[in-house]
Structure 1
Amino acid sequence: MKKVMRLLTVFAACSALMFSLFACSNEAPEKKAAEEPRKAETPAEEVKTVKAGFVYVSPIGDAGYSYAHDQGRKAVDALDWATTAFVESVPEGADSERVIRNMAQKGFDVIFATSFGYMDPMIKVAKEFPDTKFMHCSGFKKSANMSNYFGRIYQARYLTGMVAGAMTKSGKIGYAAAFPIPEVIRGINAFTRGVRETNPGAEVRVVWTKTWYDPALEKDAAKSLLDAGCDVIAQHQDSPAPQEAAQEAGAYCIGYNSDMSSFAPKAHLTAAIWSWAPKYVETVEAVRNGTWEGNQSTWWGIDTGVVDIAPYGPMVPEDVKQVVDARKAELMKGDDLVFAGPVKDQNGEVKIPEGQTPTDEELLGMDWFVEGVVGTTK
């Protein structure tokens, strides 16, 4: 009997030991799992795609105004999270309203309208699509979901005027101009101020074409100025036709929008040029991250790089380059001396007194010519 009891005792002890080991083997994984924090399973961050639309007044192959804007669009399109589309050669007025509305209906997040005459059509469409962002170039109207923007291209025109004034021999410089609106008038005035900085007795003769883009008409305008004795041709036109006319006549030319020296290499002195890419990228980034603001007016100066002058032609003397570069350095510092008073109009009346500079509102509404311009604002 005792023997049986001893066997039972040993069996019980072994069972208890096996149970304890089994329990420990089951407990270890649970304890380890409890001690190690579980890694959170987070979904991949969703990348917001921004759809940006661009409306151009002339063909992008014009090598001019629309071409410069389209270089900016391409920079946006190169972004991984952005897509773009454009419509070129859109007339100002009803056609532009239809194009802008069509883009809004297709769900574009932001629409850039790049010509002055698109202003009223865009502000009308903006009211119909409050969730869409609208950006108008060169105008002044704005709303809760529409802002306007431009560059102080008049600063670059002033510098190119200095070059033209230094290079003319006849003292007569021609200017083929599109429409008599403040933007164009302001540019002519700034150019003339630059001309008279280096050649006080020179004059700038203006011919209106009443078109932004018509190479044949632009060329005819330049020829009429050349026939009138002008030996430098400047322009506020979208094509290189005026420069081609200048080269054919053995005269010099000042370009606009982009470096068009390849079209008239023997005549091209320099040009007032645009570089939209950084600001277009900056704008769509603001749309993407929710920091874009409507009802804003932005006017970028030469210090931002939005406006500048093209490289000088080989015929421009070194001393002329130095004088112009020194003025550019002042503008880069923020010293906007282009219209620093005293400034007189064509009739000799002081429009901007000595010691004063015009406000942006006054510049945006400029509708008079400075002393030295031959032509009318109509």
Structure 2
Amino acid sequence: MQIRSRAALAAALVGATLSGLALSACSPGGASSEDDAANTISIVGFAVPEAANKNIATEFNKTDEGKGVRFQTSYGPSGDQSRAVAAGLKADYVHFSVPTDVTRLVDEGLVADDWDSGENKGVVSTSVVVFGVRDGNPKNIQTWADLVKPGVEIVTPNPASSGAARWNALAAYGQVISDGGTEEEATEFVNKFFKNVVSLPGSGRDATTAFLGGTGDVLMAYENEAILAAQNDEAFEYILPDTTLKIENAGAILKDASKPSQAWLDFVLSDEGQTQFALTGFRPLRDDIDYGGTVEGATDPSNPFPEVPTLLTVDNDFGGWDEVSTKFFDEENGLIFQAILGAGLSLE
């Protein structure tokens, strides 16, 4: 089963014009285009952290290492963006939803083998899977079991292109196992889940847009995406289930990255960088990050990141991404892809 025309998709993305962020002053008069290129960081990422990265870049430009640094950015579905970089899209720093989108670039010789050997293990931002619901929660969605009731319409992005979709699907499967269920019962739940799906947009951001436009009763989302929507005056209620999955987004610089790119990655991981992630709804990597204690847009701004009673992780509960990629997302026999096709949905 070929999910999509990879070559055509990558070529289209490579041909797309990168959008420049107006984050720093213009180069001094007389500076050459080569100088500009050497002092520019090209960021290629999945759609959800665009606002956070923009805020981090603003703060980075205030530092000695970031003074005068320019940014070019390209955001879209994580898998599509990764394939585009592999096909030639210029990137100095990549920020993807799932680590396998970075390891694709390792396999292509574009990212160093030890990209995830640091203390952060390649993770630059984290969140958790939540349920977005309509105002007043008219379907009374509280638990995973509520999602598979008759008549409940779900919006979740397409795992063929979106990393967010993969986190959502793994959370749906894993919560059954965590509650003592068998793999057969978890598979049955996932099959029921996708039979209630009415929209599979290309990315997590596209899924949010579809939900805000009136599609579905429930949006499978990152917690930070729900918080950011509220910050942008597009609020919807969200439910943090008692059992959910920790989302760990990967970031890396490429082997031929521009000179300031390493300093940028270091800043992203610093207290200052993680503070900006927190203020846009991401859970910071470290518990001691001082973001002021309040995050506007959260259900409770004074307690924006409540503890999850049972927080699953890919490494501890699924055996790591190598196992996950084969078992759940193989194009021919992956459990999640089979559930989608079995529900009559398209992976295109």
Q: Normalising to structure 2: TM-score of the pair?
A: 0.45
What is the TM-score when the length of structure 1 is the normalising length? 0.42
Q: Which has the larger radius of gyration?
A: 1
Report 1 or 2 for greater relative contact order, CA contacts < 8 Å, sequence distance ≥ 6: 2
